[in-house]
């Protein structure tokens, strides 16, 4: 018997079926240990010795693996085929070695790019040793992230109270978002005009063309800078007669994109499916590990963390065969398309993300997949097949129309898809101009042909600021700069949102003021470590480590020498110096000028003080220089609609209006735990007014009377569940927005609005909730004592009957009972004292008789409580756990 270890139970279940009785496949459930989240887990002074701590949750899984190894022939580590997978295998082996579980056993490593029977069996025939170079790259990356986080974060906390933390790669990604926001704020729109005309050919076909030449000179974009210049051009164009000067025709080819890498999958899933990067990876993981299709678990796609664009020869052959059969020979190139990866590290440049079997069309598996799985699989399938299809051919035409004296010229351009090729199956960008190609066909015209001018119009335009980053464009930019690696992009984006450094609005990233303050601090005092080229060069060094070209501790020594010196330099920094630097850097953002010419830094309360950045116990805020005489303050948090300067956030009560039903005032207020809406006002001796907190993602500035009334009406009924017939409601609780159906609760994510979610989406979310929605039990009748229903149902311990909080299991082997039998079972349960918590059993009169005795005992208990300090003596027993026994939390030193 050989023991095989993988990461997840889903993967273990699939592989176990393929390997048969000679193997036992167990799951480690991901990483089994990590660096403890405390200072000193990586010690640079001790040659970067690292302390590893076993996760208490992993202890059971480690014991199961160790137990299974007793009497086994060997251990096979079959975790994912990348650096993280290699690291998990390394940790498993090291922990088992420390527990003496591997004596005399052969330990091997196998990797496979897809979870199919053929790939698994082939991997088992070709085992290898652990790749220490990949492990070293993991160790270096983990140590670097730890050293930055646990060295830089305390500096932030001391010099910038209220800041969360700083990460090696997250800080650079945050800088990108903040810099783009700065570009938008500093952008000044520039006006320009264009002139266009409609012309009729001699055969009365219409062509629309734009003015490109005036007074014999070519027009640049901003030559018509205002309406007056546009009117002048319009007048000159109106007076001329026109003919066709030249007609240019050329053919262009559009080639298909390669199959997906991790980065391009995240970008396209964001653009086309509106999936966040983290969700894309979760869904892809499920498709990779296997889906139950007709009683068999099948891995539908290859490994989804890869920089590679190449495909196996067998996969290319299968795709070409499908193309010829389904689309015809015209769509099949004469030779296979071979794509080459740009990844520097060949060990980590795995095969592209593709279906494990392209003959398994999306329609064939639709019945076995949920909505997200189906959409993502279809996206991967289409991209893969399209990558082996023939190029699209486009006919492009440009027509120049000029006046008789050739001083005024118009140009019309158009194109049409002559042969759609791969476009019949896949278009890379849903906003691509190719979507309109078919509508741009120009009529057939000849040079010298006279043209009749019809309508002429002038159009006003304004330049637009650069767009904020979306998840797709941020991932693309990070990849272009060489910052991070595709497998880390999802976690980078999640961390920035979790720390409230950025927020998503209309699927675009907007930096929070907290994030801008942190970025400004790092740019002023740790500039080198948020430089794009520095971070990219460090990533290249880590790639060199995994490729065996560089020793991992050399990278750490070089980094730490400069980084520790930079941290040391900040020790002497006074908070006032930090504030002055940040106040100067962020002044244009917090105090934008207005049209009135009023100094935005002048205090609005005393009219003499100067507003500037201040630091308090709970973080940065804006305050007046005349403090304490003037106590004007406002929080940093700003809200902007993206069309102008930011407005101040709500800092006091705001009357939203009156509730039309109760005629009570509706108010938006801020409390110690955030903003909330309130109906009415508190009375001295009355009930408290109804209050509802704003949920995450709902900004105070966006709360209108209508929205406030909807919040106050929560929980709201959504509809009836189609299967159980029970109502589904939506509300806001202690942990945020949720759905409720019977005893099932499901939290709502950022993409679902508690005020708007409908019945179809609610049913879908509840279907994926932990624990399945319980079907209502069978009512047997009404209890003769109180008329309440007696219900038969099934639970985790088998069938049972219930009545008013009393539950009685059915006898073993019996699945159904009559009403009379149910009454007898319930009566027997009550006689034994079996009741719902908080209820008093009817058949328990003895409990009342004992009550006085309990009252008498009370003084004795109080007396004993006084002597409690004397009970410290047994503390000496704490010396007992001195045995080197494996506990739920084991720390190991390694260098």
Q: CB–CB of 402/213 below 8 Å?
A: yes
Spell out the SS3 assignment of 205-271.
Answer: CEEEEEEEEECCEECCCCCCCCHHHHHHHHHHHHCCCEEEEEEEEEEEEECCCCCECHHHHHHHHHH
DSSP string, 683-733: -TTSPPPEEEEPPTT--GGG--HHHHHHHHT-SEEEEE-TTT--EEEEEEE
CB within 8 Å of 716: residues ≥ 6 apart:
710, 729, 730, 731, 755
DSSP string, 570-586: GGG--HHHHHHHHHHHH
CB within 8 Å of 789: residues ≥ 6 apart:
779, 780, 781, 782, 783, 803
Cα–Cα separations (whole angstroms), residue 337 to 234, 258, 342, 390 = 51, 9, 16, 9
DSSP string, 111-145: --SS-SHHHHHHHHHS-B---HHHHHHHHHHHHHH
Q: CB–CB of 592/613 below 8 Å?
A: no
Give strand pairing partners of 807: 802
Structural Rg of the chain based on CA atoms:
35
- Active-site positions? 303
> What is the token pair recorded at 382?
């289409």
Bridging pattern class, strands 291-293 and 727-733: unpaired
- At CB < 8 A and 24+ separation, what contacts does 696-704 make? 696/736, 696/750, 697/503, 697/750, 699/639, 700/639, 700/649, 700/650, 700/654, 700/668, 700/670, 700/675, 701/639, 701/647, 701/649, 701/650, 702/639, 703/656, 703/668, 703/675, 703/677, 704/656
Q: CB–CB of 232/226 below 8 Å?
A: no
């Amino acid at each position: 018997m050989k023991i095989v270890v993988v990461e997840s139970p889903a993967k273990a279940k699939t592989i176990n079926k393929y390997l048969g009785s000679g193997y036992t496949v167990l799951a480690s459930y991901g990483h089994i240990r990590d660096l403890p989240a405390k200072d000193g887990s990586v010690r640079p002074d001790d040659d970067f010795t690292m302390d590893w701590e076993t996760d208490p949750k992993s202890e059971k899984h480690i014991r199961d693996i160790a137990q299974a190894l007793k009497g086994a022939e060997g251990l096979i580590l079959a975790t994912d085929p990348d650096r993280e997978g290699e690291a998990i295998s390394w940790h498993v082996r090291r922990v088992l070695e420390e527990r003496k579980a591997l004596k005399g056993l052969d330990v091997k490593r196998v990797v496979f790019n897809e979870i199919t029977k053929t790939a698994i069996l082939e991997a088992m025939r070709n085992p290898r040793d652990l790749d220490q170079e990949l492990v070293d790259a993991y160790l270096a990356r983990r140590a670097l992230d730890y050293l930055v986080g646990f060295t830089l974060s305390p500096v932030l906390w001391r010099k910038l109270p209220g800041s969360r933390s700083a990460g090696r790669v997250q800080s650079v990604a945050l800088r990108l978002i903040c810099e783009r926001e700065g570009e938008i704020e500093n952008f000044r729109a520039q006006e320009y005009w264009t002139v266009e005309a409609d012309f009729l050919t001699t055969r009365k076909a219409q062509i629309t063309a734009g003015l490109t030449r005036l007074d014999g000179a070519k027009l640049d974009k901003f030559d018509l800078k205002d309406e007056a210049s546009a009117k002048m051009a319009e007048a000159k164009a109106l007076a001329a007669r026109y003919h066709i000067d030249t007609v240019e025709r050329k053919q262009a080819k559009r080639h298909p994109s390669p199959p997906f890498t991790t980065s391009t999958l995240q970008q396209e899933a964001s653009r086309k499916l509106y999936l966040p990067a983290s969700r894309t990876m979760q869904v892809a993981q499920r498709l990779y590990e296997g889906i139950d299709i007709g009683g068999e678990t099948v891995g539908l796609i290859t490994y989804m963390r890869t920089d590679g664009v190449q495909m196996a020869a067998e996969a290319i052959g299968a795709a070409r065969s499908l193309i010829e059969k389904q689309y015809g020979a015209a769509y099949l190139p004469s030779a296979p398309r071979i794509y080459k990866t740009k990844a520097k590290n060949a060990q980590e440049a795995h095969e592209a993300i593709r279906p494990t079997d392209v003959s398994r069309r999306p329609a064939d598996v639709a019945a076995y997949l949920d909505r997200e799985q189906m959409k993502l699989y279809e996206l991967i399938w289409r991209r893969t097949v399209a990558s082996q299809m023939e190029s699209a051919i486009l006919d492009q035409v440009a027509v120049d129309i000029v006046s008789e004296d050739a001083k005024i010229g118009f140009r019309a351009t158009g194109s049409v898809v002559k042969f759609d090729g791969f476009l019949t199956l896949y278009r890379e960008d849903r906003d691509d101009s190719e979507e309109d190609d078919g509508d741009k066909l120009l009529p057939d015209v000849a040079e010298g042909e006279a043209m009749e001018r019809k309508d002429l119009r002038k159009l006003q335009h304004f330049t637009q600021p650069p767009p904020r980053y979306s998840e797709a464009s941020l991932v693309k930019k990070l990849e272009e700069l060489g910052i991070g690696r595709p497998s880390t992009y999802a976690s980078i984006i999640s961390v920035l949102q979790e720390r409230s450094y950025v927020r998503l609005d209309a699927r675009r990233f907007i930096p929070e003021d907290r994030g801008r303050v942190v970025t400004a601090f790092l740019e002023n005092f740790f500039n080198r470590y948020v430089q794009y080229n520095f971070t990219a060069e460090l990533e290249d060094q880590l790639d060199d480590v995994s490729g065996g070209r560089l020793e991992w501790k050399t990278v750490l020594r070089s980094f730490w020498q400069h980084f520790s010196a930079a941290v040391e330099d900040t020790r002497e920094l006074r908070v006032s110096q930090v504030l002055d630097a940040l106040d100067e850097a962020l002044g244009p953002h917090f105090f934008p000028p207005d049209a009135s010419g009023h100094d935005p830094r002048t205090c609005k309360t005393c009219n003499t003080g100067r507003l500037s950045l201040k630091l308090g116990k709970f973080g940065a805020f804006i305050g007046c220089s005349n403090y304490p005489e003037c106590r004007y303050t406002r929080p940093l948090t700003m809200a902007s609609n993206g069309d102008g300067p930011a407005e101040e956030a709500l800092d006091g009560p705001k009357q939203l209006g009156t509730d039309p039903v109760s005629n009570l005032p509706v108010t938006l207020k801020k409390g110690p735990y955030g903003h909330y809406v309130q109906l009415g006002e508190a009375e001295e001796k009355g009930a408290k007014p109804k209050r509802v907190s704003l949920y995450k993602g709902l900004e105070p500035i966006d709360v209108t009377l209508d929205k406030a009334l909807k919040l106050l009406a929560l929980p709201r009924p959504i509809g009836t569940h189609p299967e159980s017939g029970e109502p589904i409601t939506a509300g806001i609780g202690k942990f945020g927005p949720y759905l409720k159906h019977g005893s099932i609760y499901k939290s709502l994510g950022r993409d679902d609005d508690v005020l708007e979610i409908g019945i179809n989406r609610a049913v879908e979310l509840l279907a994926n909730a932990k624990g399945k929605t319980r079907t209502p039990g069978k009512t047997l009748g009404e209890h003769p004592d109180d008329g309440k229903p007696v219900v038969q149902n099934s639970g985790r311990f088998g069938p049972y009957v219930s009545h008013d909080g009393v539950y009685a299991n059915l006898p073993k082997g019996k699945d159904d009972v009559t009403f009379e039998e149910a009454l007898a079972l319930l009566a027997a349960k009550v006689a034994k004292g079996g009741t719902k918590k908080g209820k008093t059993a009817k058949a328990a009169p003895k409990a009342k008789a004992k009550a006085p005795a309990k009252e008498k005992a009370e003084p004795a208990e109080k007396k004993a409580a006084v002597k409690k300090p004397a009970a410290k003596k047994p503390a000496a027993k704490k010396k007992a756990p001195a045995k080197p026994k494996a506990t739920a939390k084991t720390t190991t030193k390694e260098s």
